Amino acid sequence: MNASEPLVRVEGLTHYYGNHLGCRDVGFELYESEVLAVVGESGSGKTTLLNCLSTQIVPTSGKVMYRFRDGHVENLFDMSEAEQRVLLRTDWGFVMQNPRDGLRMGVSAGANVGERLMSVGNRHYGNIRKTALDWLERVEIDPTRIDDSPRTFSGGMQQRLQIARNLVTSPRLVFMDEPTGGLDVSVQARLLDLIRRIVADLGLSIVIVTHDLAVARLLSDRIIVMKNGKIIEQGLTDQVLDDPHQPYTQLLVSSILQVGA
């Protein structure tokens, strides 16, 4: 296995919803342990791109080449749906903006974390529970709440639970769609700290969609700026944010509130 090969290589990814453009001719590479932020205004095709990458929708054209653990590289859209779904619950994670969409609200926190373990064939209750407890602790949820329903959790706790649920099978690639959206600023900060620590610990690759440039700056190594379904600028996060070339990016950067600057 060659670690200098990209984990994901996207080529000419285009998706139309009927006549309506989702995203057009998107291409980029993502390496292992790299965090890539996708920014842009709403309607710019960020979520369409994320859904294509995670095989939730099949793009109109284009390829997403993925390097598997055994080193072989395959176009995700040449795989069967069964294989895609196995990938989604083992090698990948998907953290949704609204934790209610990503969690199973009818069952306890422990079952939420344990579900992936059971879906990959773990059939030992004691072990599943131990792992769930361990993960709750890692995402700073009081382990005594393991049997409580996520309905009784605060928004920030639900989001952290969703992260634990996704990371329990040690994925290599995690997709995040506005994970800090709808949380207040102090909870956001805590969540970002947590994500940063876990990413560093596990060496995760992350594609994070956000409209919040502060989140992008804090978490990501590289950044993609999208507008009208196309990538208009990409590069190292600090480079793009400190020296934006495109007028739209300049507008985005200049519209951030400069707190304490």
Partner 1 sequence: MSLDTISAEAPAYNFAYLDEQTKRMIRRAILKGIAIPGYQVPFASREMPMPYGWGTGGMQVTAAIIGPDDILKVIDQGSDDTTNAVAIRNFFKRTAGVAMTFRTADASIIQTRHRIPEEKLRSDQVLVFQVPIPEPLRFLEPRETETRKMHALSEYGLMHVKLYEDIAHHGHIATTYAYPVMVENRYVMDPSPIPKFDNPKLDNTPALQLFGAGREKRIYALPPYTRVKSLDFEDHPFSVQDWPDTQCAMCGATGVYFDEVILNDLGERMFVCSDSDYCEHRQEAGHFGAEHASYKERMK
Binding site for partner 1 (CB under 8 A): 81-82, 85, 89, 104, 106-108, 110-111, 114-121, 123-126, 128-129, 146-147
What the block records as the tokens of 196 is 């940063």
| Closest to partner 1 by CB, 133 or 198 | 133
| Closest to partner 1 by CB, 131 or 158 | 131
> Considering the complex, what minimum distance in angstroms separates the CB of residue 132 from partner 1?
9
| Closest to partner 1 by CB, 122 or 234 | 122
| Closest to partner 1 by CB, 72 or 123 | 123
Cβ burial of 39 (10 Å; 0-12, 13-18, 19+) is buried
> Considering the complex, what minimum distance in angstroms separates the CB of residue 128 from partner 1?
7
> Considering the complex, what minimum distance in angstroms separates the CB of residue 231 from partner 1?
33
> Considering the complex, what minimum distance in angstroms separates the CB of residue 113 from partner 1?
10
Other CB atoms within 10 Å distance of the CB of residue 105: 14
| Closest to partner 1 by CB, 75 or 119 | 119
Helix (H, G, I), strand (E, B) or coil at 235: strand
* H or E stretch covering 248: helix 247-254
> Considering the complex, what minimum distance in angstroms separates the CB of residue 148 from partner 1?
10
> Considering the complex, what minimum distance in angstroms separates the CB of residue 125 from partner 1?
4
Buried/exposed 172-195: b ≥16 CB within 10 Å, e otherwise: bbbbbbbbbbebeeebbeebbebb
Give 35's contacts (C-beta < 8 A, 6+ positions apart): 199, 204, 205, 206, 208, 219, 220, 221, 222
CA nearest neighbour of 252 among 2, 37, 40:
40
| Closest to partner 1 by CB, 126 or 260 | 126
